[in-house]
Amino acid sequence: MFFGLLMSLDLTNSILQPVHPRAEARVAAADVTIELRGLSKRFGTAVAVDRLDLQVTTGSVFGLLGPNGAGKTTTVKMLTTLLPPTSGTAHVAGFDIERQPVDVRRSIGYVPQFISADGALTGYENLLVFAKLYGIPRAQCRPRAEEMLRYVGLADQGNMRVQKYSGGMIRRLEVALALLHQPPVLFLDEPTVGLDPRARQSVWAQILRLREELGMTVLMTTHHMEEADALCDQIAIMHRGRIVVAGSPDALKQGIAPDASLDDVFLHYTGDVMETEEPGDYKDAARARSKAQRLG
Amino acid sequence: MPPELAVKPNVWVENLAGTFPGRQFIRQTLAVTECEVRKVLHEPLEPILQSLQPVLWMVIFGPVFSRVSDIPTGGIRYADFIAPGILAQSVLFLSVVYGVMILWERDLGILHKFLVSPAARMALVLGKALSAGVRVAPQIVVVYVLSLLLSIHLRWNPLAILGVIVAVVMAAAFFSALSLVAACLAKTRERFMGINRMMTLPFFFASNAIFPLAMMPGWLRIFSRMNPLSYLVDALRTLMLPSWHSEFGLLLDFGVLAIGLAVLLAILSRLYPQLVY
């Protein structure tokens, strides 16, 4: 069954098949933290994101899936105010991304796809500088930076320069940077690209902890189905700038076959791309590989 | 109808509510510049390595050209005449490549992180421009120490030295802002390096850094008068050399740099966020 039409998330899915124990409670509250309405981005004649409608429930982990070049990163860039949309609107934490960009920025943490911590500075210095940029009061900058280092398990490496960190340590520092100002919403763009399985597991554990302990709303992009299955309450699969299907991972799997995996779901909805064209471009591939190399 | 605010705003936002916005702007600007200060402190060898060029110019070029007897330097030794010119050259050469930094930061993702912060875009670019000043400032020490060793007569009045520091930091901010604008337009490192090569030497040679304006053919003198570097050199000569009389006046020297910097920052704060598109 192919949903050619755009879909908003059907919340009844998660009532029938709660993926996480707290899912029912969240649905009862039915608060929406991220809402997209007809959000679109064109680059010249190319349509990167095509009239997205989407709602992300407060306190849930939402996964945006899709092959390279599907428009996931472009969507996240618009939601984080890095990129103005061509048309449509979106609200993040109650603020309009175009009319209230500074309020949106105060409300979100963002871990970009590529390395965002400065390698020439120590972990502590990275945190300190961003504490100041976020307007954290002077007296609280240092304790807050130290608290974040402890939170992500880097207390002993705080005075080491980031260029000496391993890939997993850099990712943990970046999560600390994103959480520094206690945002209610977190955006993670391909959080585990280039990480070895153990580092990936520790990033996963951390994301789950954010939801359980802080009740944060997390929107992440990924093309690892295993990752989406392990972390996300709700997912949407993007293909050529549109959402082709959305729902809870279990509901989507059930929709394909009784014993289907998310891989099957993914291929079912985006399969044609594999044979006919190569998604993503040279720059994407080069960046992903050089990042993988850097993170070792 | 926008969705209801489902989450309470974070505590820092409430803390910010009553503060004077200008204070936040200054704090954000200094936070960006602080990155550069900390990097220089981590790599204290870098300013020393960068001092090779002024050393060569002052130790080799200066004495050799001193032997040319008819350079009209207004009655002072040629070696004295070019010392401020060499400092200006250091400012130019170090600042004009500075733009490549943001292309690196863009490729890594650091730039994204800055742009997602609530900091004013103008504070981010001003902080970056002042960072170039941090990079260049150690060269003042290099030129002053060399001048002592080469027995060049400098003015040691603390107020004059303070003026030199301000002029150097302003000019470094100006030329790095120009370089950052070029980087934003070029978008790739390769193209930027091409533009960079086209910019550096014309700025240097079409100025009064190593030759007095009086020596130049008329058309070059016009270019030189339009070149911001000439105003930096004039300011530095006036502040560094006891017997030099300013050609343009210090007010005009600083005015050109300040207005030029303001215009470039206004352009840059529009272009800078577009680098991540």
> Which chain A residues have a beta carbon less than 8 Å from that of B37?
none
pLDDT of residue A285: 62
Does residue A31 register a pLDDT over 90?
A: no
- Averaged pLDDT for residues B191-211: 90
pLDDT of residue B19: 61
pLDDT of residue A112: 87
pLDDT of residue B72: 81
Residue of B108, B135, B269, B275 best to disrupt the A interface, most CBs of A under 10 A: B108
- Averaged pLDDT for residues A197-204: 86
Cα B17 off chain centre by: 35
pLDDT of residue A293: 52
Min Cα–Cα distance to chain B from A261, Å: 33
Query: At B39, is the pLDDT very low, low, confident or very high (cuts 50, 70, 90)?
Result: very high
Does residue A11 register a pLDDT over 60?
A: no
pLDDT of residue A2: 40
Q: Do B3 and A108 touch (CB under 8 A)?
A: no
Angstrom CA distances, A128 to A66, B24, B175, stand at 35, 15, 28
Residue of B4, B8, B10, B187 best to disrupt the A interface, most CBs of A under 10 A: B10
CA angle A291, A189, B121 (to 5 degrees): 95
Q: Do B276 and A82 touch (CB under 8 A)?
A: yes
- Nearest residue to B237 via CA among B85, B91, B54: B85
pLDDT of residue A259: 78
> Which chain A residues have a beta carbon less than 8 Å from that of B28?
132-133
Q: Do A102 and B118 touch (CB under 8 A)?
A: yes
As a whole number of Å, the end-to-end CA separation of chain A is 41
Inter-chain contacts counted by CB atoms under 8 A, chains A and B: 135
B6-35, pLDDT tens digit by residue?
334 455 555 555 566 788 899 999 999 999
Min Cα–Cα distance to chain A from B200, Å: 27
Q: Do B114 and A133 touch (CB under 8 A)?
A: yes
| B28, B109, B110 member nearest A132 (Cβ) | B28
More confident of the two residues A8 and A31:
A31
Q: If residue A166 lies in a helix (H) or strand (E), which one and from where to where?
A: none
Instruction: Report the half-sphere exposure of B159 (CA within 13 A, side-chain side).
Output: 1
What are the residues facing A109 on neighbouring strands?
A: A186
pLDDT of residue A286: 65
Q: Taking a C-beta distance cutoff of 8 angstroms, is the pair B234, B248 a contact?
A: yes
CA angle B223, B229, B235 (to 5 degrees): 120
Query: Which of helix, strand or coil describes residue A180?
Result: coil
Q: Do B12 and A120 touch (CB under 8 A)?
A: no
Q: Do B117 and A116 touch (CB under 8 A)?
A: no
pLDDT of residue A20: 37
- Averaged pLDDT for residues B59-74: 80
More confident of the two residues B144 and A67:
B144
Please tell me the pTM assigned to this model.
0.85
Q: Taking a C-beta distance cutoff of 8 angstroms, is the pair B175, B92 a contact?
A: yes
Q: Do B2 and A91 touch (CB under 8 A)?
A: yes
Structure tokens at B156: 């040691």
Residue B149 burial (10 A CB sphere; 0-12, 13-18, 19+): exposed
Query: At A27, is the pLDDT very low, low, confident or very high (cuts 50, 70, 90)?
Result: very low
More confident of the two residues A12 and A69:
A69
pLDDT of residue A283: 62
List the single residue in A with minimal CA-CA distance to B127: A133
Q: Do A107 and B10 touch (CB under 8 A)?
A: yes
> Which chain B residues have a beta carbon less than 8 Å from that of A121?
35, 38-39, 42
A61-112, pLDDT tens digit by residue?
999 998 888 899 999 999 999 999 999 999 999 999 999 999 999 999 999 8
Min Cα–Cα distance to chain B from A197, Å: 23
- Nearest residue to A44 via CA among B107, B277, B267, B185: B277
Q: Do B39 and A93 touch (CB under 8 A)?
A: no
> Which chain A residues have a beta carbon less than 8 Å from that of B27?
132, 135
> Which chain B residues have a beta carbon less than 8 Å from that of A37?
none
Does residue A40 register a pLDDT over 70?
A: yes
Question: For A52, phi and psi rounded to 5 degrees?
Answer: -80, 135
Min Cα–Cα distance to chain A from B5, Å: 4
pLDDT of residue B15: 53
Does residue B41 register a pLDDT over 80?
A: yes
A221-280, pLDDT tens digit by residue?
988 888 898 899 999 999 989 999 999 988 888 887 777 788 888 888 887 554 444 445
Residue B222 CB partners (closer than 8 Å, separation 6+):
none
Rounded-to-integer distance, Cα A2 and Cα A267, Å: 12
Does residue B213 register a pLDDT over 80?
A: yes
Positive or negative: CA dihedral B96, B99, B104, B105: positive
How large a percentage of chain B has pLDDT more than 70? Answer: 92
Residue B251 burial (10 A CB sphere; 0-12, 13-18, 19+): exposed
Q: Taking a C-beta distance cutoff of 8 angstroms, is the pair B187, B275 a contact?
A: yes
Residue of B113, B126, B131 best to disrupt the A interface, most CBs of A under 10 A: B113
Does residue B252 register a pLDDT over 70?
A: yes
> Which chain B residues have a beta carbon less than 8 Å from that of A28?
none
> Which chain B residues have a beta carbon less than 8 Å from that of A83?
276-277
Does residue B109 register a pLDDT over 60?
A: yes
Does residue B3 register a pLDDT over 70?
A: no
Does residue A5 register a pLDDT over 50?
A: no
With both helix axes pointing from N to C terminus, report the angle between B121-136 and B138-149 in degrees, rounded to the nearest 10: 20
- Averaged pLDDT for residues B121-141: 95
Query: Which of helix, strand or coil describes residue B89?
Result: helix
Q: Do B110 and A115 touch (CB under 8 A)?
A: yes
Question: For B86, phi and psi rounded to 5 degrees?
Answer: -70, -40
CA angle A101, A105, A151 (to 5 degrees): 175
- Averaged pLDDT for residues A116-135: 94
Residue of A33, A80, A133, A136 best to disrupt the B interface, most CBs of B under 10 A: A133
Residue A150 CB partners (closer than 8 Å, separation 6+):
none
Structure tokens at A179: 């959480």
